[in-house]
Structure 1
Amino acid sequence: MLFGLSGVELSLIIVFVLLFGGILSGYPVAFAISGSAALSFLIIAILSEYGFLYVMETHNGELEKVPVLAQGWQKALLSTQSTWAQGVFSRAFGGNVETLLAVPMFVLMGIALERSRIAEDLLITMAKLFGTLPGGLAIAVVFVGTLLAASTGIVGATVVTMGLISLPTMLRYGYSKSLSTGVIATSGTLGQIIPPSIVIVLLGSIVGDMYAIGQESRAQELGVTVLEMLGEPAVLSTGTLFKAAFIPGVVLALLYAGYAFIFALLKPDQAPPVDLTKSDEFHLVTYYGGSSGRMVAAVIGPIFALALIWILFAWGGVAGSMVVDGALKSGPIEHGTMAAVLLIGSLYFLALSLRPQHPRRPLLIGLAGLALMVVADSLFVEPDASGGTRFLYFFIPAVLIVYGLRAALPRLLEVEALRVVSPPVILIVAVLGSILGGVTNPTAAASLGAAGAIMLAATRRLQDSGQKGKIIVWSALAIIIMLLLRGNFDLRMTLDNISFEDRVAIFLAIVTYHVAVFGLLYSCWILMRDGTMKAVVQETTKVTSMVFVILIGSLFLSLTIRSFGGEHYIQESLRSFNDPLTLLLVVMLVLFLLGFVLDFIEIIFIVIPIVGPVIYAADPSVMPPEWITILIAVNLQTSFITPPFGFALFYLRGVAPPGVTTLDIYRGVVPFVFIQIIGLALLWYFPGIVTFLPDLLPQS
């Protein structure tokens, strides 16, 4: 054997050499993968047929040479083609279709927001808000990148937009080229980890099967069933992954902002504070005794206090549900109630702190309504109460809350930063809130996000032309009502016995549905009128087609590897590690290195199906599957900024001013690559960062 390598090892080398050669040739990735699969199979078949690729096996006590395609290339080809066709069919029309449908919806959502110039408004406003801090413009870019990540998830659109708008501004005010390019390129990749994330959607379509296969193998080795071993089915949903990814994404954003701030303190001449604001038109600094710190504490303090109360209630079993003696017990207060307290209470406290010169009485009445709602939920509303019962007990608190909101919202919209930030934040709350709250699954939430993005884009177009979007506002209100009805009533019309309250809810849902659809169609017409919708649909089709063509080609490549036993060989090599943590560390290192030359989509569809059944076979009490997946997702996010083939670097290079060189961009992202490694280390040593939200908000 050549260099002492077996036929399987040589075949793997042939496959990966052709794969990397095809990708590096500049040929479209999707077709390079399919072509490398076909060409490598042809070469392996010829070499196997002529006896150059073989393995040594023992038969009747003697070692014999066995070709890697033991049954001949004809049967191997037929088997591969048959399995490939079945695999494509199952991916396209099988159990994963609902998960994969979220991909085009999230892509449409991101591109619609990018075309509406909402990102431009965010960048300008946040630059004014944070500019006076050391490194404030860089911190503003991180903040905007986080918001865009949670509302779009499209790396290319985010990096290009921030590069066009913020990079010239940062350079003009004396920011170093390396810090400016590094923070823009890296912040743009947050969309790959902060939900809604296409990476997590694609991972969710694969790792659920990998987890089930891995736990089934472990159960067979122990001689028990999966239910006996785990006490529950081996299920890992995309919704759970969304919950698990949220806090790690925020932690990474804080690390980026912290680096920019420390950089500015150490090198103030390369990241100077810039005052882009107008005078203190609301006299807030004067109101708070000239102390900016006191003003910030008054704005942020109550919001953090409400969030802390929710967390403490959840830990103590007062809010939500928890497992007690193997049974799921519900606390006296529901998570939905606490979420309403946090969101609406934050609006009241913001209005109190940012517009203190207005009367406080309406806001205090609204806060009293929130308190009354909590009392009613804890004392009178049972966890299994019907929607009609909830309506009766929550009616008076709701009236008080709406009264307070009518006073709070106009005051908040007077503040430019809130007026600009509120549209994407509302969309984020609607999409993520419906997923984290268990109202809808990620696919339905993706559809909601796409519709919301179209409405926001249409509203922006109407504002630019001096028109009002009352129809769109009423449609948005109808969507909110539908979500509330979906969360509190049984809207199934196929039931034999439907209660009166559910009939009323179904009628209201039908009415609000038609109002929402009319508003959506009206928004589409607005965007079609000026040509925006055509560009959005074309770009969405292009990105979605790329993803699914790569998926199909990667299946072909995986089955080519499987045809000569390569997949089995890799899995057996991985199983040679006795410590599962050591195995995971090796896989993470391999993925990190692959990120220098491969895109995240190729890694997901080619590498994860091979190594997944092994790494997901670990004890979930030691290595939770969501923790493993988020580690992989953060690792894949790094592939966007690792030279020389990081896609974010290419996007930024395409829009950078002539004075910014490729070397400046490479030099700028190097510190952030190390920050990514620090983030991975934090997740590795503190798994609670990942598992906190899934444990706090378990599946209902």
Structure 2
Amino acid sequence: MSAIIPYLDLLMFPVAIVMLLRGFPVAFTLAGVGLLFSVLGVVFEVGYFATGDLSFLRALFGRIYGLMDETNEVLVAVPLFVFMGVTLERSGVAADLLSSMAKIFGRMPGGLGISVAIVGMLLAASTGIVGATVVTMGLISLPTMMKAKYDTRLSTGIIAASGTLGQIIPPSLVLIILGDVLSNSYITARRSVGDWAPDPVSVGDIFAGALVPGLILVGVYVLYILTVALIFPKRAPSVMDEGEKVELGPVLLLLVPPLLLIIAVLGSILFGVATPTEAASIGSIGAILLAGQRLSDKSSLPQIVALAGAVVVVLFVLYTDLRLTRTTITTRDTVNVALVSLALLAFVWGSAVSLWRIWVAKADDGPSTLGSILRASLHMSVMVFAIYIGAQVFNLAFRGLGGEQTVNEFFSGLPGGPWIALASMLAIMFLLGFFLDFLEIVFVVTPIMAPVLFSFSAADGSVLFHPVWVAVVMGLNLQTSFLTPPFGFALFYLRAVAPREVTTGAIYRGIVPFVAIQIVILGVVLFWPGIATWLPAFLAG
């Protein structure tokens, strides 16, 4: 027993993994393992628990308060982005996107597969949860592709690969959480080495850094699908006859609004017009308007009025002075305020009508689509924050047992210096991706390992590994892990919704080319960090 006591900190991870594989809830497993090992630390007087009590865990209350504090605006975006993604999914907007894309690319060889990849990218960006996206794309796309006589292996590979794009394509829930955790780790690490004024890293910076590698990855996916369709036409046949015509008007009406919504959300963040939380609010309102129009056969006038009202308000706020506390208010100012008030009323009316239409629409799992959306959004948001709280208990216990010092000594003692430390961290996170979801890895592993990387300095004293680049590399690395047989999470999710005639072997064989593409893109970003860092620098001027 005495031989095990010095390694209590390291034993926390295998115990947590075993409990998770046994089916225990993630949040309770992390918190329970943390409390159990904290008690063991008190009993055996290890690390900060050598005082004989659990007073070291008092910091947990400050961390939880920091989560709920009104100054932590980044994490407020989490439930809003979840709501946006669930609304687009449950209202059928995602299915309309797929059908519209399929009609546009229908005559191309592999056109349906290209459509699935693009729609998967858009849906993954709006939800950011691997399981939700893969399941949704599996239910929507796989039957359509099988009906079109697509090769089963190619179909499952496209769906699984595109469903994990939410790890790297902004605006993404995953990138928001990763940005919040990494920015705190970065500042703490740089101050520990004497850099008291490190350049701040925002979620917007990470969004900008992930955009180009993510689009490159999608582009290579599309290029691979097109190549397969040209070389082996029977594996990815055209879904439209030569003489069949496509009416672009109805197709564009279905395609353009959700595309504009996602572009508006992402563009407002990248160009500094809105914070991630404000952009998430825009996305949520836009999703409500789209769903209200999609779920009703009535006029689209309320949605148009609401959109026009929002545009008028934004323009007046940007180009006029609407303050009512000034000493002098002219007649023109009064007219401006009245116009803005009318525009706000129009916006509220259109949004209320949209909400009513979502409420009266029937859902598959309940009497109301709005109720279904709210339940799913609440469930997913609570899951995220419950895991966050459980991870805080786990992290504090790990630090209390001396785990932080163990990690520092391990990485500092590796031969080869900082780059071997980076490779070791990526390898560990890749393996953990077989057993843990992204949220657990971000909340538990990243705060422990990332500060070590950020403590390495270049010759001029600046940070050696740019935090934006590290975030992008981590996202690509974990995305590859979730796709890699035999334990990739995305493959299990797809297996759960695939028909019986789709074998597990077919899913594994179908994903191999996409895993190879992932590894190539990851290597490119590793060797050319500028791919991830140039856009944030450009936007910053």
- Would you say same fold, with TM above 0.5? yes
Equivalent-residue separation in structure 2 for 1:37 and 1:535 (angstroms): 34
Q: 1:191 to 1:40 in 2, by over 3 A?
A: same
8 A contact 1:150–1:196 mirrored in 2: yes
Query: Can you list the C-alpha shifts for 1:490-542, whole angstroms capped at 9, x where unaligned?
Result: 66666788999887766554443332222222211111122111000000000
Equivalent-residue separation in structure 2 for 1:149 and 1:271 (angstroms): 23
- From 63, 73, 84, the equivalent of 2:60 is 84
- From 515, 532, 535, the equivalent of 1:673 is 515
Equivalent-residue separation in structure 2 for 1:45 and 1:621 (angstroms): 37
**Which piece of structure 1 moves more, 151-160 or 588-597?**
151-160
- From 287, 290, 313, the equivalent of 1:482 is 313
Query: Can you list the C-alpha shifts for 1:379-423, whole angstroms capped at 9, x where unaligned?
Result: xxxxxxxxxxxxxxxxxxxxxxxxxxxxxxxxxxx5343222101
- From 232, 236, 261, the equivalent of 1:267 is 232
Q: 1:125 to 1:70 in 2, by over 3 A?
A: closer
- From 168, 176, 190, the equivalent of 2:151 is 176
Query: Can you list the C-alpha shifts for 1:220-273, whole angstroms capped at 9, x where unaligned?
Result: 2xxxx534xxxxx52101111111121111111112112222333443332233
Amino acid at match of 2:402: G
Q: Which residue is 1:652 aligned to?
A: 494
**Which piece of structure 1 moves more, 536-545 or 429-438?**
429-438
CA positional deviation for 1:71: 2.6
Query: Can you list the C-alpha shifts for 1:405-462, whole angstroms capped at 9, x where unaligned?
Result: xxxxxxxxx5343222101111112211211221110101101101110110001112
Q: 1:536 to 1:645 in 2, by over 3 A?
A: farther
- From 598, 601, 609, the equivalent of 2:436 is 598
8 A contact 2:10–2:403 mirrored in 1: no
CA positional deviation for 1:174: 3.0
Matched, 1:42 2:28: no
Equivalent-residue separation in structure 2 for 1:499 and 1:431 (angstroms): 35
- From 68, 71, 74, the equivalent of 2:50 is 71
1:353-368 equivalences under 5 Å are none
8 A contact 1:181–1:668 mirrored in 2: yes
Equivalent-residue separation in structure 2 for 1:649 and 1:498 (angstroms): 63
Q: Which residue is 2:364 aligned to?
A: none
Helix, strand or coil for the counterpart of 1:596? coil
Matched, 1:585 2:423: yes
Q: Which residue is 2:256 aligned to?
A: 422
Amino acid at match of 1:538: R
8 A contact 2:135–2:497 mirrored in 1: yes
- From 65, 70, 90, the equivalent of 1:115 is 90
Equivalent-residue separation in structure 2 for 1:71 and 1:496 (angstroms): 65
8 A contact 1:247–1:689 mirrored in 2: yes
8 A contact 2:131–2:490 mirrored in 1: yes
Question: 5+ unaligned residues in a row in structure 2: which ranges?
Answer: 362-367
CA positional deviation for 1:104: 0.3
Helix, strand or coil for the counterpart of 2:483? coil
Amino acid at match of 1:71: A
CA positional deviation for 1:146: 2.1
**Which piece of structure 1 moves more, 610-619 or 113-122?**
610-619
Q: 1:499 to 1:141 in 2, by over 3 A?
A: farther
8 A contact 1:211–1:234 mirrored in 2: no
Q: Which residue is 2:184 aligned to?
A: 209
1:363-402 equivalences under 5 Å are none
Q: Percent identity?
A: 42
Q: 1:45 to 1:127 in 2, by over 3 A?
A: same
Equivalent-residue separation in structure 2 for 1:569 and 1:257 (angstroms): 44
8 A contact 1:178–1:667 mirrored in 2: yes
Q: Which residue is 2:24 aligned to?
A: 27
- From 396, 401, 423, the equivalent of 1:559 is 396
Equivalent-residue separation in structure 1 for 2:88 and 2:539 (angstroms): 29
Matched, 1:11 2:8: yes
Helix, strand or coil for the counterpart of 1:100? coil
Equivalent-residue separation in structure 2 for 1:423 and 1:507 (angstroms): 29
- From 383, 397, 420, the equivalent of 1:546 is 383
Instruction: Look at both structures and tell me which one has the larger radius of gyration over its CA atoms.
Output: 1
- More relative contact order in 1 or in 2 (CA 8 Å, sep 6+)? 2
Q: Which residue is 2:347 aligned to?
A: 516
Q: 1:580 to 1:485 in 2, by over 3 A?
A: farther
Q: 1:94 to 1:208 in 2, by over 3 A?
A: farther
**Which piece of structure 1 moves more, 603-612 or 492-501?**
492-501
Amino acid at match of 2:219: L
Q: 1:677 to 1:564 in 2, by over 3 A?
A: same
8 A contact 1:110–1:154 mirrored in 2: no
Matched, 1:571 2:375: no
8 A contact 2:453–2:465 mirrored in 1: no
**Which piece of structure 1 moves more, 473-482 or 604-613?**
473-482
The RMSD of aligned alpha carbons is: 2.7
Question: 5+ unaligned residues in a row in structure 1: which ranges?
Answer: 50-66, 228-232, 283-413
CA positional deviation for 1:553: 0.2
Equivalent-residue separation in structure 2 for 1:560 and 1:663 (angstroms): 41
Q: 1:6 to 1:629 in 2, by over 3 A?
A: same
Helix, strand or coil for the counterpart of 2:244? coil
8 A contact 1:208–1:235 mirrored in 2: yes
Q: Which residue is 1:226 aligned to?
A: 196
Amino acid at match of 1:181: T
Q: Which residue is 1:533 aligned to?
A: 370
TM-score by length of 2: 0.90
Amino acid at match of 1:179: L
TM-score by length of 1: 0.71
- From 243, 254, 262, the equivalent of 2:219 is 254
Helix, strand or coil for the counterpart of 1:98? coil
Equivalent-residue separation in structure 1 for 2:23 and 2:386 (angstroms): 17
Equivalent-residue separation in structure 2 for 1:567 and 1:498 (angstroms): 60
8 A contact 2:128–2:174 mirrored in 1: no
Q: 1:579 to 1:515 in 2, by over 3 A?
A: farther
